[in-house]
Chains A and B, each alone.
Chain A
Amino acid sequence: AQSVTQLGSHVSVSEGALVLLRCNYSSSVPPYLFWYVQYPNQGLQLLLKYTSAATLVKGINGFEAEFKKSETSFHLTKPSAHMSDAAEYFCAVTLFMDTGRRALTFGSGTRLQVQP
């Protein structure tokens, strides 16, 4: 089975500071990993995804994530936080079903606060 664990339910950074949101995965097969962002009262928006190509994945809004197999990690980073980055961030891994189809299983989420 596949699963992800997000370390830290709340992260607070100052505007302009580095953002680091942690995600570790568990998978018996090569994983496909995603980061989604959820703004208040809105749906889930895809930030980036890892699909076994390049280990460093660049996404929207200046975010990137690095797949590290040795550490089973897929941490999300952004060099300089902006006030508009305040949101809930979910790491997700493809959950392979018996039918061969796929769903997603999500981590518990990390709420990012950006202080002025």
Chain B
Amino acid sequence: AAGVIQSPRHLIKEKRETATLKCYPIPRHDTVYWYQQGPGQDPQFLISFYEKMQSDKGSIPDRFSAQQFSDYHSELNMSSLELGDSALYFCASSPGTGSSTDTQYFGPGTRLTVL
């Protein structure tokens, strides 16, 4: 079965640079979530999209922005990178049927290292 695809899997950037992470949800899933997992920490919700519109925001810094495109893939744009942005970034997708029991399926993550 198709899974959530994230690219790149690993990314190394310098401080103050920008980074773009991509997420391709499971086909026919119209809701995408982004999470950030710092070293030794649990995943923290950043932002979500439903039907190409921003749905909810969690603890996403103002330096970050994201969008969902017409083909439902999503991109997380990160500017003015800081050392503390080094983390594993997960994308998850769900069917978005409106059911409270919708399961979120996670991608393998993008490991961002800021030097």
User: Interface of A with B (CB < 8 Å)?
Assistant: 32, 34, 36, 41-46, 49, 51-52, 90, 94-99, 101-109
Contacts and interface: CB of A to CB of B under 8 A. Distances in A.
Contact of B42 (A42, A43, A107): A107
Contacts of A95: 45
Interface of B: 4, 31, 33, 35, 41-45, 48, 50, 55-56, 58, 90, 92, 94, 100-109, 111
B42 A102 contact: no
B30 to A, nearest CB: 11
8 contacts: A52-B101, A97-B48, A97-B56, A99-B55, A102-B94, A104-B35, A104-B92, A106-B43
B48 to A, nearest CB: 6
Contacts of A97: 48, 55-56
A41 B108 CA distance: 8
A111 to B, nearest CB: 10
Contacts, number: 64
A43 B55 contact: no
Contact of A45 (B56, B58, B106): B106
Nearest to B58: A103
A105 B45 contact: yes
Contacts of B44: 106
Nearest to B53: A99
B4 to A, nearest CB: 8
Given A43-B108, A101-B56, 19 more contacts: A41-B111, A43-B90, A43-B109, A44-B92, A44-B106, A46-B105, A49-B101, A51-B101, A90-B43, A95-B45, A96-B100, A97-B48, A97-B56, A99-B55, A101-B48, A103-B33, A103-B58, A104-B43, A106-B44
A49 B102 CA distance: 10
Closest 9 CB pairs of A and B: A51-B101, A106-B42, A97-B56, A44-B106, A43-B108, A103-B45, A101-B55, A43-B106, A43-B109
